[in-house]
Chains A and B, each alone.
Chain A
Amino acid sequence: MNESKKRSHIQALVIGGSAGAVGALMQLLPGLPGGFPLPVFIVIHLPPDDKGTLAGLLNSQCQMIVQEAEDKEPIRPGVISLAPANYHLLVERDFSFSLSQDDPVFYSRPSIDVLFESAADAYGSALAGVILTGASADGARGLQAVHRAGGRTFVQDPATAEVPTMPQAALAACPQAHVLPLSQLARTLCALALPTELHASLS
């Protein structure tokens, strides 16, 4: 971990979104190749009684494995893990997941802030965070935490977002974030994650 921090090499990716984000993920995630080497953690605001069908749906559309995160599960590279409905998803320092039913943040459980802040604690500068479309300010503090820890920050261009509130709030809290249209995000994330020569062969 210290070694990777020195090289400032990204080791994990966190993504958050709310209204419109299922569609955005359906566009973004299939663009990540099967050999994408990073673990990806995602919080999407879902109703508390959601039965976890989104992971299965995304899994059928993606080259990467998509699953719901389990409590105390060790983090695996190349796997996309979604927070289950009605639970916060946190990253522990030993690179495993924890779930919690602590109070909602901005009326949301899971909360993007909770995931991003814990992941920033665990990964420091080796984390990249992405805020997508949504109708809430959740995620703004979280993205700020990623930036403060020295990580890389990205926000979906509010102009291309189905609902611009969440990307706008994230940019207000973290003006240093890179603004990108959804169509360019997958390529940018690949460039972050993959060695240059491998990335060139994919594009």
Chain B
Amino acid sequence: MNIHTPQTEDIELDLLVEAIYRKYHYDFRDYSAASLKRRLLQAREHFHCQTFSALQERVMHDTDLLPKLLGYLTIQVSEMFRDPTFFRALREQVVPHLRTYPSLKVWVAGCSAGEELYSLAILFREEGLEERTMFYATDINTTALRKAEAGVYDLDRIALFTANHQKSGGKSSLSDYYTAAYGAAVFDKSLRKRTVFSDHTLASDAVFAEVHLVCCRNVLIYFNRELQDRAVGLFKDSLVRRGFLGLGAKESLHFSAHAADFAELNREERLYQKRA
């Protein structure tokens, strides 16, 4: 029997994911299996391993390998004001509600390198809400979190960020918020002075604060249905009554166990409001 039959490979893949969980407590067991396999195949090739078993041996005995492997397992595709119409809807339909609270908490779940966080911080400043708001920016990947805390982006991405910001109904110029130096845009640290960055995984950690808005965009698509239900359950428990949830452009609560606990505020932009 050929040792490379899919069945053998699938057993090895399960064991690798289990080993990473048991040794390092990073839990990818309930990630979407098809895309997880794809990314692990890329990692396997990168680390010149013939099999997932060989990759497992490397990651078990070489702890320096783990951060690099995590880079393959967590997706860091984002941009500032990504899907500008989402941010426009946030301004027009959510901000008026948020204004009625004397103090606000916002959770950016799966903040990656921080693009979404800075977008929200700028939007909140433009809307005059920043001074009363505390932001929580969480991610499973500590390397990404450090990037988020630094707030430094390649200058060649700024044209896109600027165009997005304008389309989102931006009331200022994006250039007000960064200084360009050595091919990089360094975002003003005052934007994150009200942000707590924290290592948090939706797969096993608990709710840590009561918040008014959760933004978790293009994170849930990497989870299977059970883990999606767990994550949305955390958002539900974290949100105040009538609090708001923003998902990615192709994510919905359509197939969620918690669908009945939320009302669709803006179906097209995937904005939800927790029912009272």
Which residues of A are at the interface with B, using a C-beta cutoff of 8 A? Answer: 70-74, 84, 87-88, 90-93, 96, 98-103, 114, 117-118, 121-122, 124, 149
Contact = CB atoms under 8 A, between A and B. Distances in A.
Contacts of A93: 33-34
Contacts of A121: 6, 34, 37
B228 interface: yes
A91 B32 CA distance: 10
Contact of B225 (A72, A100, A102): A72
Interface in B19-55: 32-35, 37-39
Contact of B32 (A70, A73, A84, A100): A100
A74 B255 CA distance: 9
23 contacts: A70-B252, A70-B254, A72-B224, A72-B225, A72-B228, A73-B254, A84-B250, A88-B35, A92-B34, A92-B224, A93-B34, A98-B32, A98-B35, A98-B221, A100-B221, A100-B222, A101-B75, A101-B77, A102-B75, A103-B77, A118-B34, A121-B34, A121-B37
Contacts of B142: none
B220 interface: yes
Contacts of A117: 38
A52 to B, nearest CB: 10
Contacts of A71: 220-221, 250-252
B38 A70 contact: no
A186 to B, nearest CB: 28
Contacts of A90: 32, 34-35, 38
Contacts of B228: 72
Interface of B: 6, 32-35, 37-39, 75, 77, 218, 220-222, 224-225, 228, 250-252, 254-255
B34 A99 contact: no
A93 B255 CA distance: 17
A114 B75 contact: no
Contacts of B77: 101-103
A121 B32 CA distance: 14
Nearest to B254: A70
A160 B225 CA distance: 42
Contacts of B225: 72, 96
Give me the 5 closest cross-chain CB pairs, A-B, nearest first: A90-B34, A98-B32, A118-B34, A100-B35, A101-B77
Nearest to A90: B34
A127 to B, nearest CB: 13
A98 B34 CA distance: 8
